[in-house]
């Protein structure tokens, strides 16, 4: 689908600053549990999203992200707990607010455009029911122009590429100026190059509308690029909440750490407050003496220095990746290979002996089995 899209078109969204601003709403989940028969999709989840904040729900398939989004939209009712909009319970049986009355916009993973309606009619759909007539038309056209598709207003969804359909879905969601915007894996169907542009333009649009936004994704890069805060989920529960930098630099568990980086993991035992490994001793704060631990070495933290300095290693493979090289390095006493990303400008070849400088403060240490 994307192949049909011309470069100039996917690069040219509408003028920034022309999207209608929303009145952002506070959104909160209070002790939410959701069961589907024997499956507990969410267990006792509490989360507050500030007005205007952009939050990413990040996690592996099946961890409950979409279910949380559907509860916020009102297309699902919680088994226990409450969903609050502006502090008001909108999910309990005696105060339930229907999806169309919540002021919440939704972008589905498959975009869910009506195939028999044009782009303009799709975007106008949620507006026309408000009975605004000509004003609805103008609002829809403005939203379509903002996502750069004014010349496709009369096209049908099947005539559009995947990236264009995503933009129509986004235009449809923001046109009624929702106080809360919910997006389910909005970039997952896009190819990599297109994804970067769409992600950045979507972030600009979200900031412009000011809507409180929740974006579901399984891609940490999506989450870091677009969100003010990231909510990392696992098996129906929240594992950690923080900025992208918090989660990347200070993951609270081996599970969280692995989500953000392909570490080389090295097992060792804690001796006098540090874990002993073939790569050196790394501080193991809070871990008990004699316990088994895992040291996580970031590929980009390892510095290649001349042979004879620091720790000796031998380059087994070298892959040129453009701005950096990816190296796999053999180190005595380690039965696997150390993964290293470094910009070496071709100075290193396979078979070379090198020195490895591993800054201690770049190595994360967790209890073994803390997954």
Q: What residues make contact with ligand ATP under the rule CB under 6 A?
A: 36, 39, 41, 59, 61-67, 218
**Among positive and negative, which fits the CA dihedral 238, 243, 244, 249?**
negative
Which has the closest alpha carbon to 122: 148, 153, 146? Answer: 153
Question: Are 109 and 188 contacting, i.e. CB atoms less than 8 angstroms apart?
Answer: yes
CB of 184 to ligand ATP, least distance (A): 7
Instruction: Closer to ligand ATP by CB, 204 or 241: give it.
Output: 241
| 3-state SS, residue 5 | coil
In the DSSP assignment, the letter for residue 1 is: -
Length of the chain in terms of residues written: 371
CB of 46 to ligand ATP, least distance (A): 17
How does 141-157 read in b/e, with b if 16+ C-beta sit within 10 Å? bbbbbbbbbeebbeebb
CB of 8 to ligand ATP, least distance (A): 33
Question: Are 59 and 65 contacting, i.e. CB atoms less than 8 angstroms apart?
Answer: yes
Instruction: Closer to ligand ATP by CB, 209 or 217: give it.
Output: 217
In the DSSP assignment, the letter for residue 21 is: P
Instruction: Closer to ligand ATP by CB, 79 or 339: give it.
Output: 79
The CA–CA distances, whole Å, from 69 to 56, 271, 365 equal 11, 45, 34
Instruction: Closer to ligand ATP by CB, 65 or 172: give it.
Output: 65
CB of 265 to ligand ATP, least distance (A): 25
CB of 65 to ligand ATP, least distance (A): 4
Instruction: Closer to ligand ATP by CB, 218 or 303: give it.
Output: 218
For the chain, the 3-state helix, strand and coil shares in percent, each to the nearest 5, are: 30, 30, 40
- Upper half-sphere CA count for residue 290 (Cβ side, 13 Å): 0
- Crossing angle of helices 134-146 and 162-174, in 10° steps, is 130
CB of 134 to ligand ATP, least distance (A): 39
CB of 236 to ligand ATP, least distance (A): 7
Instruction: Closer to ligand ATP by CB, 66 or 264: give it.
Output: 66
CB of 276 to ligand ATP, least distance (A): 38
Which has the closest alpha carbon to 124: 112, 139, 114? Answer: 139
Q: Who contacts 252 (Cβ-Cβ below 8 Å, separation ≥6)?
A: 239, 240
Instruction: Closer to ligand ATP by CB, 41 or 338: give it.
Output: 41
Which has the closest alpha carbon to 320: 339, 334, 294, 341? Answer: 341
Instruction: Closer to ligand ATP by CB, 41 or 198: give it.
Output: 41
């Amino acid at each position: 689908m994307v192949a049909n899209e011309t470069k100039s078109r996917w690069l040219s969204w509408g003028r920034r600053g022309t999207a209608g601003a929303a009145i952002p709403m506070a959104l909160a989940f209070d002790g939410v549990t959701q069961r589907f028969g024997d499956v507990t999709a969410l267990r006792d989840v509490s989360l507050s999203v500030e007005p205007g904040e952009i939050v990413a729900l990040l996690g592996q398939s099946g961890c409950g992200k979409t279910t949380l989004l559907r509860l916020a939209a009102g297309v699902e009712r919680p088994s226990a707990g409450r969903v609050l909009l502006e502090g008001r319970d909108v999910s309990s049986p005696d105060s339930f607010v229907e999806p169309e009355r919540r002021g919440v916009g939704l972008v589905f993973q498959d975009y869910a455009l009506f195939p028999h309606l044009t782009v303009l009619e799709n975007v106008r759909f949620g507006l026309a029911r408000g009975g605004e007539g000509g004003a609805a038309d103008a609002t829809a056209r403005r939203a379509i122009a903002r996502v750069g598709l004014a010349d496709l207003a009369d096209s049908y969804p099947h005539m559009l590429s995947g990236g264009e359909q995503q933009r129509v879905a986004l235009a449809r969601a923001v046109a009624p100026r929702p106080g809360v915007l919910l997006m389910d894996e909005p970039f997952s169907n896009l190819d990599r190059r297109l994804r970067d542009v769409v992600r950045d333009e979507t972030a600009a649009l979200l900031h412009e509308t000011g809507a409180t936004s929740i974006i579901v994704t399984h891609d940490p890069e999506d989450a870091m690029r677009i969100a003010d805060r990231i909510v990392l989920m696992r098996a129906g529960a929240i594992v950690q909440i923080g900025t992208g930098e918090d989660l990347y630099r200070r993951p609270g568990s081996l599970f969280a750490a692995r989500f953000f980086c392909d570490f080389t993991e090295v097992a060792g035992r804690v001796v006098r407050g540090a874990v002993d490994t073939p790569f050196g001793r790394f501080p193991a704060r809070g871990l008990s003496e004699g316990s088994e631990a895992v040291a996580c070495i970031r590929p980009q933290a390892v510095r290649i220095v001349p042979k004879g300095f620091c720790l000796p290693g031998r380059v087994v493979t070298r892959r040129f990746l453009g701005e950096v090289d990816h190296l796999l390095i053999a180190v005595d006493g380690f039965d696997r290979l150390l993964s290293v990303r470094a910009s070496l400008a071709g100075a290193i070849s396979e078979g070379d002996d090198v020195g490895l400088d591993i800054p201690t403060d770049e190595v994360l240490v967790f209890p073994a089995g803390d997954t």
